[in-house]
Amino acid sequence: MRLSYNRSVMERTLAIIKPDAVKSGVTGKILARIEANGFQIRAMRMIHMSKAEAEGFYYVHKARPFFGALTDFMSSGPCVVMCLESDGAIRKWRHQMGATDPAKAEAGTLRKDFGASIDNNATHGSDAPETASFELGYFFRGMEL
Ligand code: CMP
């Protein structure tokens, strides 16, 4: 008997609409583009992180020179955290966001359209399955997903 298998890999990733994008009133536009791109939003919440919570989320960057500015910015106002699901969600969301530095992002990406600088770059996404697992668990309990 031949075994058939499904090659598509349903995946989940953590997405953030950062404080700059929330403040400038483009949350709805970004959500519409996420849905138009075929993601299911499995969980979503608006939060305002404390400095300590932002430091915990970005702890992998704690030795980087931009850590202080990054965590000041991420705790400067509300942001929207989401669990996005699709086939290959991690790569797909990173592609939709574009390069970390909006000046280097491709046309049509979210960071090109809504980001102002590498610090104020509108969105965040997990970069690997292990990171997605940690980042989703940071904001959502299992029963919310
Ligand atoms: P993000 O995808 O949220 O991950 C870490 C963030 O640090 C990144 O987006 C940028 O907003 C910010 N950052 C600031 N300077 C740098 C840098 N030189 N390299 C990478 N990320 C940076």
Place of tokens 């980087």: 64
Task: Give dist(CA 86, CA 96) in Å, integer.
Answer: 13
pLDDT at 5: 58
The two tokens of residue 65 are 């020179």
pLDDT at 111: 98
Task: Judge whether residue 9 has pLDDT over 80.
Answer: no
- Give start and end residues of each alpha helix (H) in 37-128: 51-57, 67-74, 89-97, 110-114
Active site residue 124: yes
Q: 24 in ligand 1 pocket by Cβ < 6 Å?
A: no
Q: Whose CA is nearest to atom 4 of ligand 1?
A: 124
Supply the pTM of this predicted model: 0.94
Average pLDDT over residues 130-137: 97
DSSP lists the bridge partners of residue 82 as 15, 44
Whether 40 contacts 84, CB under 8 Å: yes
Per-residue pLDDT of 64-111, as tens digits, reads: 999 999 999 999 999 999 999 999 999 999 999 999 999 999 999 999
- Using alpha carbons, select from 16, 24, 11, 5 the residue that is nearest to residue 140: 16
Domain residue extents for the chain: 10-49+79-140
Q: Whose CA is nearest to atom 11 of ligand 1?
A: 119
Q: What is the CATH number of domain 10-49+79-140?
A: 3.30.70.141
Task: Give dist(CA 126, CA 58) in Å, integer.
Answer: 11
| Alpha-carbon dihedral angle through residues 70, 110, 141, 44, given to the nearest 10 degrees | 120
Q: Best mutation site among 55, 70, 80 for ligand 1, i.e. most ligand atoms within 8 A of its Cβ?
A: 70
